[in-house]
Structure 1
Amino acid sequence: MIVIFICLLRQNEGEAWVSCKIPGKPTLYGTLKCHGISDEGVPDLVASEEFRVLEISKKSLHISCPELNTSAKFLAPHTSFGQIHDKSVTCIDVSCGGGLGVSTSTNGTLKVWNCTNGEKRRDLSGHIYDVNCCRFFPSGVVILSGGMDAQVKVWSAEDGSCPVTFKGHKGGILDTAIVDKGRNVLSCSRDGTARLWDCGKSTCLAVVADCGSPINGCSVGVADNTINLGSPEEMTSEREVGTEDKLLLLAREDKKLEGRGLQSRQCVFLFEGSDAFNCCTFLSSVYIVAGTQNGNIYKLDTRNTRAPVTTIHRSGAPVLSLMPYQEGFFVSQGDGSCYLIQQDFDHVIELTGPDIDPVYKVATWEKCVFTCCRDGYIRKYQLSDL
């Protein structure tokens, strides 16, 4: 892992400290120094002998460490929106067409905004206390949110109305998931339960899990057909949750990652990690990833979860979000780091800007990446700038 500690590289004679750490090997330290700026605004950088500057542009920097046989690309934000919220931005999502964003803040606000210029479109008012999570339905015109008031709400992104409110949880909502096109949605809570809701009927279909400890994150996906998800219970018909059963992932506070059949509500696997699980997501019908409070990222094969396929540990900071992207996935952590891990795990793209403020969430649309941070900024990156 290559890290730039101080970024003053756009100033003439500006200098930055650089480190490279590979597990089991001594950390190498070096410097980057700016010897001028070109007419196009590109810094002329010279690296100390431990590092090499492979490529540089206005928005990106590619550095290698030959001795440790590794490299990393650093990508600066294309645009930063600081006017959408007044406080820390805790969750974010982008519509399927990439035109609208939705985000939540520690001041209890839930806002819809233009992804091009950050212009605020509307406030979604109705939750009491903080709003913890938000996401678009696949249609891009409906929004799902969950708050500390234990309520799950469905909103119109077009006029800001809230036609459906789900009540039943006894603790704050920590995460949500949408089943297929959105007839059914899932929520998980501090009360230790995960609930399945019917949006058309505005009712709770089932408590699909009761774990006894807070469920910090959830994700739903189609499992490989070799995995036995159990027999569907009579209360939840196949028609209500889709034509094929789904695997529900639950990131639990008690250090356990659980896989559960959505129709059967039976536990398919239970994997114990090193600390509380904060987030989880599907990479495919076979592979999943989950992140813990002490910085571990586990990649698991759902057909055999006795041991992880691989464990990634870049720092001891909490893993706050995971987002699949093409053949890899984005990771954001509590130390301000946000990066894309490719399929081979060897090449990393680092998103810069937040310094040491936690990056709470990542959202993607085509080659655009959006992040939200404790410093109150929503940052937009263009991977085409690499």
Structure 2
Amino acid sequence: MSSLCPFAKATTGGGGVCPMKSDKNSSTVKSNKNDSSSVCPVTGKNNGEEHKESGTDHAGEESPDPRMVPAKCPFGYDSNTFKLGPLSCMVCQALLHDTSKCKPCSHKFCKTCISRFKDCPLCGADIEGVEPDPELQALVDRFIDGHARIKRSLAGGGVEEVDGKSKVIYEDVSMERGAFLVQQAMRAFRAQNIESAKSRLSMCAEDIREELKSAEDNLDLCSQLGAVLGMLGDCCRTLGDASSAITYYEESAEFLSKLPTKDLELVHTLSVSLNKVGDLRYYGGDLQSARSYYARSLSVRQKAVKEHPSVASQVIDLATSLAKVADVDRNLGNQDAAVEGFEEAIKSLEKLNLDSEQAGLEQRRRSVLDFLHKQLDSK
């Protein structure tokens, strides 16, 4: 599972701005760039609603617009940095999942995380037992719901008059929630808390599916769902559930196939999903099926290179796909086709000239090239 956000192309570079926000073509509602994420699920309040809409403060400066005042959470949640305070697990650094309490010290962690330890990671006390903490887990669940909300766009007239006072209207926006859940999932995945990652990604996928019911042709939502489904496939693969992994990868490819092939990032993600299905079929012994998926990935990459012949990463991807197809051909007894595939891949890589600024790609090119030469030498 990649540590990069699947929607990195939408990053605005503002540091605290979520990289998974939909762009202007998305059907979801946008927040103002200065808005915070929501009311706190515990207090049900935000600090800005009690201020007057206009006027000056005691220093003579213009007071902030009440519709722009960030909501504050007593747990220290920051919508820009996703700091979770006591709702995070100190082991995986992600939102608590299956919250469990150590006995006798009462420190709390994700169930999966704490199961790896004999001593409490926080205080060092011997762990005599672990028990669920449903109260804290319920608060975590409320936290997710509460911070999946943003202020409605002012341009959309999202401020109502209640008893002569302005009232900010909040409403759910699944991609805001999705950004949060995907970030937590990636943290959990890196820390090997796969169940937590899978749970958060499943919630995100459900949100996007719900959005798609009323926006079937929204390409942003399709690309986001395709990326999330690919991550779910990675989780299942890591857990050893090859069947579910294949299902997720295939569905990911289905959604990504609907998108324009001009976006190289999406082309890469699509081809990787197809290759991962091929890998699972290959190691499962179904060589014909594996070759079918490798060939589909190869076709996607051939089109990409034809349209973008100067993009080095696409050429290396193409050579990798040629190698995968050739390897299966050799295992199926098609030696001539295998040699032809390996040689074509070698030619494409040897013609590729990389400058000093592409050191990472050069290392990858060399690695694939060495593999290809070894395959020919071993025939």
Interval containing the TM-score (normalised by the shorter chain): under 0.3
More strand per residue? 1
More helix per residue? 2
Q: TM-score, normalised by structure 2?
A: 0.24
Q: TM-score, normalised by structure 1?
A: 0.24
